[in-house]
Amino acid sequence: MSAKVKLATVWLGGCSGCHMSFLDLDERLIELAAKVELCLSPLVDTKFKDFPDVDVTLVEGAVANVEHVEMLHTIRARSKLVIAFGDCAVSGNITAMRNTFTVDEVMNRAYRETVAVVKGVPVGDDLVPKLLAKVKPLHELVTIDHYLQGCPPSADRIWELVTALLDGRAPKLERRFG
Name the residues that contact another protein, by CB under 8 A: 84, 87, 90-94, 96-97, 99-101, 134, 137, 139-140, 144, 147, 149, 151, 175-178
Instruction: Reduce the DSSP state of residue 15 to 3 states and report it.
Output: coil
Q: Which of 141, 124, 122 is nearest to 68 (CA)?
A: 141
Q: Which residue's CB is nearer to another protein, number 36 or number 96?
A: 96
Do 127 and 120 contact (CB within 8 A), yes or no? no
* Cα angle, residue 40 at apex, residues 30 and 159 outer, rounded to 5°: 40
Provide the minimum distance between the beta carbon of 11 and another protein in the complex, in angstroms, as a whole number: 17
Shortest Å distance, C-beta 132 to another protein: 13
Residue closer to another protein by CB (options 100, 114) is: 100
User: Minimal distance in Å, beta carbon 61 to another protein?
Assistant: 13
Rounded least distance, CB 127 to another protein, Å: 28
Q: What distances in angstroms separate CA 115 from CA 62, 108, 109, 120, 127, one per listed residue?
A: 27, 11, 10, 11, 22
